[in-house]
Structure 1
Amino acid sequence: MEKRKLKVEDLFELASVASPKISPDGQEAVFVKTQMNEEENKYVANLFHVDLETNEVSQWTYGNERVSSPAWSSDGKQIAFLSNRDEKNQVYILPRRGGEAKKVTDFGQGVSSFVWSPCGKKIWVNASVKEGQSFTDKEEKNEKKKPEPYRVTKMKYQMDGVGLIPQDSYRHIGIVDIESGDVTQITEGNHQYSLMAVSHSGDNIVFGVNRAENQDYEFRQPLYLADVHSKEETALIDEEGYYGGVAFSNDDQYIAFVGADRTFQNATQSELYVYDRENKSRTCLTENLDAPVGDSVVADLQQGTSAPSVVWTETNDLYFRLSTMGDVRLYYASLEGAIYPASPENEHIYDYEVSRDGEFAVVAVSNAINPGELYKQTIATGERQVLTAFNKEYIEQVELVEPEAIVYQGAKGWDVHGWLMKPVGYEEGEKYPLIVEIHGGPAAMYANTFFHELQLLAAQGYGVLYVNPRGSHGYSQEHVNAVRGDYGGGDYEDIIAGLDYAIEHNDWIDTERLGVTGGSYGGFMTNWIVGHTNRFKAAVTQRSISNWISFFGVSDIGYYFNEWQHGADMNDVETLWNFSPLKYAKNIETPLLILHSENDLRCPMEQAEQLYITLKSMGKETELVRFPDADHNLSRTGLPNLRIARLNEITGWFEKYL
């Protein structure tokens, strides 16, 4: 059968399979399948079940909303999950033997997260509460409510994806009695508490909180172990940086967690720590691994992932993920210091769960030509059984391009890793245009994972080059830190060196038809590139930065990000201006399409407006497309119709100029 080319609208056909949770007896699992609904212009996610003995898959919920964060009770008789079927996320419980899901919470501001109590009769919850109110208090619905002024007294007053942060709302921890519905608030005060874990005995919880009154320059979340009965607290870690992903060992003697200090500010690699409750000591298990713990991948398909940061087995072995060399791999660690990979290269494990006995894992795996499915992997042998096949028919029908991995010499003679895709329908001896894609972050990475946008460009007849220049995660602490104070320096050289390498080794690349695009940091770099070279015949900049001076005051992270990344604030505007693509606007001769979300508070709309008006006033070839009801994450989690429109804008611009 002749395969068809991938289309923009294929986003509606692809399924994201994630959040596998293994039952306590290891015989079954539940997971969440998410798809975009074109008719209703939203994401729909439902709960599924798989028998791990027979591999039989069945659907357990059929709503037209979103289910997330499934979790088994300790006796395996019930599954709790979050659902927004009543607008805001609430906790529901579904009996293992079937029946209707019972709504357990009815909180005014919904539920952020939850953890089962080991007794199975209570649920610990994390939810926002307005000052002076309780979890269950609700605002009166008044359609004619008048707008009110918002007084700003702090620097951290807005957040991308949230908007203006409610000033009188605080996240607290509570416990819900499932049978009676009674809710008890455990924490108090005007602080933001993050519920992390509950001990297997039920006597302790771990939470994160920073109780400093002024949070403007607080970039830390200490972790505390608290006695449920006496409320006595013990600090697990109280240092600069963010820590979380907590898990108690099965005997409750050890507490594992992950996090990163601020040695290299936000470019510091995450580590895996273990706290020994008996001798009150803390050990870093990954100090000899020069790669970040967790998932640093940028992609555009996976939805609803809730991968644990670390999983204990009953013999006190640990499993976690590591982002390394373009892969996200499952790793094993022992308390004695043994540590090694437990999954193959050239793939992206974007979610996982390990059985209590450590015999097997259920892994959600993607690679460049597989959107992602669930597999049961035997730990000892690495052997895998396919559990789901939601995207199997799609793969059989659509021609997907397997990228070629490349390694070349970048700035300072450093090795740089990337990938090159040939266009669909490639024929020897023909010439094809090439598009360079640049990821955001910059502390993130392209990976051996399915990326619809990259496959779309290849399907439209373009070669695609995407690399991990300095500043990217997965290649050492030195590599990810090297971009700080050098935006547009070594990173620019790395990208251009990758282009030169691709051209030198592939005579099919038409050097007169080169395009470049990227978002966020990739948008900054797109702007920078076209201001420093005319090699590209078309460019699309997305959710970009053009002016670091104004970014300082308008971005939700600007006032500290500039200092962290450029070593400069408003006392040194010359440095910020020298790093700003807007300074070099007069040099831009490349036709530039500017895509930007109107609700983007990370790289606010004015960044696009400044660039557009400046270029227009200079008579340059440019257009600006604004996306309403969209924030910084448009390309990954935005409204389906806007995601489709965005891809059509990108491909339309390149079609016009390449």
Structure 2
Amino acid sequence: MKPEHLPLLNSVSAPAVHPDGSRAVVSVTRPDFTADSYVGQLWNIPLNQEQLPRRITRGFRDTGPAFSPDGLVLAFLRTGGPSSKAQLVVVEAGGGEPQVITDRLLGVESFAWSPDSHRIVFSSREPEAGRYGSSEAITAEAEAPRLISSYQYRLNSVGYTRDKPQQLFIVDVPELGGEPLAPPAAPSLPEARQLTSLATDASSGVFSADGSAVYFVAAPPENDDDLATLVYRVPVTGGDPLPVDKGVAAPQTVSEVRQSRDGRWLFYIARDLGGSGRDFVARNAVLYCVTADGGVPVALTDPELMDVAAPGARIELRGPDHALVLNNAQGSVELLELGATGGHALLVHGDKVVTGAAWAGGSLLVVFGDPSTHGDVGVLDDGQLRLLTDFSAVLRTQTDIVVPQELTFEAPDGYPVHGWLVRPAGKGPHPVLLNIHGGPFAQFTVALFDEAQVYAAAGYAVLMCNPRGSAGYGREHGLAIKGRFGTDDMEDVLAFLDGALAKFPALDAGRLGIMGGSYGGYLTAWTIAHHHRFQGAIVERGFLDPVSFEGSADIGWYFGSEYLGSSTVGVAAQSPFEHVGIVQTPTLVIHSENDLRCPLEQGQRYFTALKRRGVEAQLLVFPGEDHELSRSGRPQHRRQRFEHILRWWARFLPTDANPADAPPE
């Protein structure tokens, strides 16, 4: 795969299954260089093998499909262009002309149907008067100043949050089968009624099983120095939201809530936060269940061994009292089914990364990635996953996808380090790139990874592992580096590198590069300060100076103190910036101007410190991008990022496919 192949990466949404179980609808989106944005439409996926999947909408970007419970209407989000905001759209499930039913200034972020199929609850950011274009007479530069009194006031990719909190709204779904106006006229939008008016974000809004109320997640109004969020319930007719007393003594941060179809149970996903309300380190997300009328919650998943917080995961319902969740598990993501009163089934596992699932009408549809697909849809038949789509066929046809080789090597203390080798074609010897993931409580997976594929196509062997500190291997594994950044984690990634070099003669031990983003940028910077064996390094969007991070990052007020501790001496001992004076490795520093997770100053100060000490260094800054550049940045920027990375490696680790004298693009 080459940088120009990015538009072949089709991403597939969680499935919307029709209530009769005969078909599903998914959105399929991809990067587009011409629009310099992400485009995509909805696809109909029949379970009947005699029928083929087909595109059923023609919008610029149509996402998030959901059938009404009666199966008559399909709702989704439509974005009209690169600079537009997503709005809620409905269309007859059998086909027809979509009808836009919202006109929110800052767009619609998510939605859910009512049980009677007549209403939709949706979330949207509500700006203060005079901000974000709510008054055409006031430009962004002329807005009033912001008076801030809370730690939590910004969020990466969102910006300021307290002056545009996410609120919940209810809108009635119009009759779609009526005769259109004659002569044609612009339809009037149904009025959306605001349901919440909170100072903080209201998220995960869903109707209760009887449709009389909406459950949602929000931070309590008094919280400022902790991470706790609660489940709230508010009547659909309006009123003050009331917290659902779950009988939990310790603070939790809740991410999802759903009521069972029979109305007897409340499922929710939460992480415990210890007595301080900030003890988030390596806390696995747990699926809890509590009776709808109160009681003591029961953990349905093991908080020490399981983590049901895979990216994009939601609670889905199956039958009257069962829930479907996704579990991070040793480089894969599994699909689990759990019953409110007992029962635990592992439905999909192995070399797959499940990204969504839904059940209706007796059919269970699953969306997943694996080593050879970026996203596809299957149906679970008699315990086996039957493939229904092949959205990565063109990618495999036009590029040489390398299937990663799973490996485990021992660290110096005997601890097993699990990961993968993506090896390029040819006999070698191949230069090696040691790639380190972010987080740190995250994981590399077995699914097709564009980064590794691009580097392999350029002639590099790519090593990726999940050292101590990563997610997916139990809480003890994740906790191992608390207060000890740069210890076991560095030993683990180097042991994985050395194990691969010893096992595979085709890997060139004399030509090594190291790279990583976010926490991976931290560990890259830390490693090159302590080992001088690498010919080059790339430090991307790094957590590099814990001291300045505290006042500038959206998570800076708690992240460093929880992971590194509060001792000045202890923090300095774990800080790459404090050790930059012993770096010798040529380093490319990559950062984004709008990164609020690891702010730009982290990269700027690190680059300047390298230059001041005579280390060969370059700083690559992307305008308009945030912490998610490599995953969801502008397509042209993503391509340019790859091109700059390959040029850097061509200087220090040239290959036949990426020669040092390659002319500029």
Q: Same fold (TM over 0.5)?
A: yes
1:194-225 Cα shifts (integer Å, max 9, x gaps): 24321232123211222324x43131111023
Aligned to 2:212: 203
Aligned to 1:56: 52
1:318-342 Cα shifts (integer Å, max 9, x gaps): 3211111111011122334332311
* Residue aligned with 2:419, SS: strand
Aligned to 2:416: 415
Partners of 1:248 and 1:166 in 2: CA distance: 29
Query: What is the Cα deviation at residue 171 of structure 1?
Result: 2.7
| 345-354 or 441-450: bigger deviation | 345-354
Query: What is the Cα deviation at residue 108 of structure 1?
Result: 3.0
* Residue aligned with 1:470, SS: coil
Aligned to 2:657: none
Aligned to 2:389: 388
Aligned to 2:108: 111
Q: How does 1:328-343 map to 2 (within 5 A)?
A: 328-343=333-348
Does the 8 A contact of 1:67 with 1:83 survive in 2? yes
Cα 1:10–1:60, aligned 2, differ >3 Å: closer, same or farther? Answer: same
Partners of 2:409 and 2:547 in 1: CA distance: 34
1:367 to 349, 366, 370: 370
Aligned to 1:403: 404
Does the 8 A contact of 2:59 with 2:79 survive in 1? no
Q: Does residue 607 in structure 1 map to residue 615 in structure 2?
A: no
Does the 8 A contact of 2:284 with 2:304 survive in 1? no
Partners of 1:126 and 1:152 in 2: CA distance: 24
Aligned to 1:311: 316
Q: Does residue 257 in structure 1 map to residue 257 in structure 2?
A: no
Q: How does 1:95-244 map to 2 (within 5 A)?
A: 95-130=92-127, 139-142=134-137, 146-148=141-143, 149-167=145-163, 169-179=164-174, 181-213=190-222, 215-228=223-236, 233=242, 235-237=244-246, 239-244=250-255
Q: Does residue 245 in structure 1 map to residue 256 in structure 2?
A: yes
Aligned to 1:3: none
1:412-452 Cα shifts (integer Å, max 9, x gaps): 422211111222x222xx42211100000000000110101
Cα 1:9–1:204, aligned 2, differ >3 Å: closer, same or farther? Answer: same
Cα 1:16–1:55, aligned 2, differ >3 Å: closer, same or farther? Answer: farther
Does the 8 A contact of 1:196 with 1:244 survive in 2? no
Runs of 5+ consecutive residues of structure 2 not aligned to the other structure? 175-188, 654-665
2:430 to 432, 444, 463: 432
Aligned to 1:591: 586
Partners of 2:395 and 2:201 in 1: CA distance: 44
Does the 8 A contact of 2:18 with 2:67 survive in 1? yes
Query: What is the Cα deviation at residue 183 of structure 1?
Result: 2.7
Runs of 5+ consecutive residues of structure 1 not aligned to the other structure? 1-5, 297-305
2:354 to 349, 366, 375: 349
* Residue aligned with 1:19, SS: coil
Does the 8 A contact of 1:94 with 1:102 survive in 2? yes
Cα 1:204–1:592, aligned 2, differ >3 Å: closer, same or farther? Answer: same
Cα 1:543–1:287, aligned 2, differ >3 Å: closer, same or farther? Answer: same
CA RMSD of aligned residues (A): 2.3
- What is the one-letter code of the residue matched to 2:476? E
Query: What is the Cα deviation at residue 493 of structure 1?
Result: 0.6
- What is the one-letter code of the residue matched to 1:60? I
Partners of 1:550 and 1:492 in 2: CA distance: 23
State the percentage of identical aligned residues. 30
Does the 8 A contact of 2:284 with 2:303 survive in 1? no
- What is the one-letter code of the residue matched to 2:532? N
Partners of 2:544 and 2:485 in 1: CA distance: 12
Does the 8 A contact of 1:15 with 1:34 survive in 2? yes
Q: How does 1:503-518 map to 2 (within 5 A)?
A: 503-518=501-516
Aligned to 2:555: 557
Cα 1:278–1:193, aligned 2, differ >3 Å: closer, same or farther? Answer: closer
Does the 8 A contact of 1:327 with 1:348 survive in 2? yes
Query: What is the Cα deviation at residue 141 of structure 1?
Result: 2.6
* Residue aligned with 1:413, SS: coil
Query: What is the Cα deviation at residue 33 of structure 1?
Result: 0.5
Cα 1:51–1:577, aligned 2, differ >3 Å: closer, same or farther? Answer: same
1:293 to 291, 308, 314: 308
Aligned to 1:299: none
Does the 8 A contact of 1:411 with 1:490 survive in 2? no
